[in-house]
Structures are given as C-alpha cells and as structure tokens.
Amino acid sequence: MFPIRDANASKNKPVINNGIIIINIIVFIAGLFLTYEQEYLYNYGLIPAKYSTHSYFYNISLTQKIIPFFTFMFLHGGFWHLLANLWSLYIFGDNIEDCLGHKKYLLFYLLCGIISGITHIIFNISSDIPVIGASGAIAGVMGAYFILYPRAKILTLFPIVFIPFQAPAYIFFGIWFAYQFVNAASDQSGAGSIAWWAHIGGFIAGVFILKFFKGVSFVDFIKEIKTKPAKSKIGAINSIKRAASTDDPNIYGILNITSAEAFLGAKKTVNVPWGFYNRVYKVNVPNGVSSGQILRLKGLGKSQKNGIIGDLMLKIRIVQVSDIK
C-alpha cells in the first residue's frame, strides 16, 4: 500500500521534518557525482559484519564504528528509493513534529533510525552487505503516528488494483506492519534488497520512544480505538443572514467544516431556515478549500417578482471539532 495523503493537517511549520527531507535530497545528489561509490557505501552504510567479524571489528576505528549508525539513514540506492521514503516522511512527519516539538522530534527521528539499524544488525549479524535508507527512521515516525492518530484517514493506493481508497491509520499501519513481519520472517538469508527487520525495529522504537517523550502508550491507543468517535454537528449551517436589501435575491450563511474535510473534501447536509420551515440541501465541499472561501450554490436563493432566482452563498469557516457546540 502506498500512502497518497492523510487528513491530519499540522498546526505548525515542520521545520525539522523539511530539513531532514532537504538533507536527504542533497546527500543523494552529491552521491551521484562520486566515483568510488562502493567505498562510499562501505564507509557510511551500516554493515553488520563490521560489528560481528573479527577481521572487520579490529581493523576499523571507534569513529568508523559509530558514524555509520547516523549516516546510513541519509543514504539511498536510487531515485525511487529516495522518493518513496521522503514522500512517507512528508505525509506523516509533520504531525509527529507538531506533537513533540522541533528539538524532541529531531532526537526522536535519529533514535528511531539508530534502533532500526541495531535491529537489522541483530537479525543479519554476519551480513557484509551495506544497509542504507531512511525507511527505518521513517518507520519510527509511522509507529508514533499509529499511536497518536489511529483514526486519522489516510488516502491509500493499493498496488494490485491501483484504486485509491481511504482507511483509518490503525488499519493502514496494521497491514503495513504485518507485511513487514511476513517478509522479514520469510527472508532467512538476510540477503534481500529490503531491510525488513530495520522497518520493524524502527516502528516499535517509535511506539516506545513516544511513550518516553509524551507518556502516550499502546494502552491509550487501544482506548482510542474502542471509544466511538463523537458525532459531530458540523454538518449544519451555523448562521443564516438575510440580505439587508430586499432587492438582493441571495441568501448568505456560514458553513463550518474541519481541517480534514477542507483538505479531503466532504459531503455536507445543511439546513436553511425558510419561513416557518427548513430547507435541507446536500452540499459537496471540494477538496482544498480555505477558510473564508465562498461556495456559491446557484438557484437556491430567493425568488424575485421579476423571475430572478438568487443563489445560496456559503462562507467556509474551518474549525476544530471541539469548538463545535
């Protein structure tokens, strides 16, 4: 499954997340100009045999042992490898940075990457193949997202039928984790091109480090899943204001929507007071609308004596669900 976007807009600018993305791109471009690529990967990729084989371990310095734990997560083997990783980081990382703050998020990301590398070494102890890529650290970001926002909707592309569909985060990441585990268990040689155990280690690290940083645990996740989300009254127009002039055939109102609905689009049911009764309309809110934007519903206004029929003018107001009474 490939994530296209999520419905969980961040409140603050993801400075660290954007910085990590930029660094990965710069390192990748710089790597394209290297003549001795194999030597480069040997020095800065993470090779399990360096820590388990006598001939390796005692012939490299302490610095050469430590540096790869940081550098391997900024290296990529190709454009599509880079794109897939950074796209996932772009989708999920901003929300985790929003939650943890800039400094803690940077530490969180690096720790998840390091633990993912250690996990890969443990399960591929004698391998002399360099492992590179940000996917272990990003798996940690996904693990934190899984716990913090289990009900957040993720628009996903299923690779077999190539049809996008929405799924809550706990289902998306549950299937993702199961896929990683099945592949890791079936790849006994450790010679595959994907570091499955690094993904698993990073994901689990993200869950536990989140507990340490924010006190949010798997128990909180279970409670969130079991609790039915409150029904929102966000579907109705909060206020309808008649035009001051009787010559104005238009009707004006305010439509409250959540940031998720503004991002993904939504179908709303609105009630418009009309004399002694209400008129009910179905309104399609397009994706990407912004606060203050006007939705014009033609022909739903007042009828004038001259035969002119006005429009229903809805002003978009983006609010938090907790703000709606």
Residues 222 and 244 in one domain: no
Residue 83 contacts residue 56 (beta carbons within 8 Å): no
What's residue 204's pLDDT?
Answer: 96
What's residue 164's pLDDT?
Answer: 76
**Residue 322 pLDDT exceeds 60:** no
- Region 224-241 average pLDDT: 55
Residues 6+ away with beta carbon under 8 Å from 168: 150, 151, 152, 153, 154
Residues 215 and 257 in one domain: no
For residue range 260-313, list pLDDT tens digits in order: 677 667 777 776 665 544 566 677 788 777 888 888 888 777 777 777 788 888
Residues 11 and 144 in one domain: yes
Residues 131 and 277 in one domain: no
Last residue of a domain, one of 226, 247, 277: 226
**Rg of the chain taking only CA atoms, in angstroms:** 26
For residue range 56-69, list pLDDT tens digits in order: 888 888 998 999 99
Residues 106 and 138 in one domain: yes
b/e map of 294-305 (b: 16 or more CB within 10 Å)?
ebebeebbbeee
Placement of tokens 């009630």 in the chain: 271
> In this structure, what are the phi and psi dihedrals at residue 122, rounded to the nearest 5 degrees?
-60, -40
Name the DSSP class of 304.
Answer: P
Residues 248 and 210 in one domain: no
In a domain, 52, yes or no: yes
More confident residue, 241 or 28: 28
**Residue 104 pLDDT exceeds 60:** yes
Question: What domain range includes position 15?
Answer: 2-226
Region of residue 265 (left: phi > 0; alpha: psi -120 to 50; beta: else): left
Q: What is the dihedral of CA 262, 263, 269, 272, to 10 degrees?
A: 20
What's residue 229's pLDDT?
Answer: 54
* Number of separate domains in the chain: 2
CA–CA separation, 278 and 44 (whole Å): 68
What's residue 91's pLDDT?
Answer: 94
> In this structure, what are the phi and psi dihedrals at residue 200, rounded to the nearest 5 degrees?
-65, -45
**Residue 112 pLDDT exceeds 60:** yes
CA–CA separation, 209 and 213 (whole Å): 6
CATH assignment of the domain containing 170 = 1.20.1540.10
Least confident of 100-104, 152-156, 187-191, 231-235: 231-235
Residues 173 and 28 in one domain: yes
Last residue of a domain, one of 200, 226, 252: 226
Residues 119 and 242 in one domain: no
pTM for the full predicted model = 0.70
> In this structure, what are the phi and psi dihedrals at residue 315, rounded to the nearest 5 degrees?
-90, 125
181-188 own/partner pairs: CB under 8 Å, 24+ apart:
184/123
**Residue 235 pLDDT exceeds 70:** no
CA–CA separation, 277 and 154 (whole Å): 39
In a domain, 231, yes or no: no
What's residue 83's pLDDT?
Answer: 94
Residues 215 and 246 in one domain: no
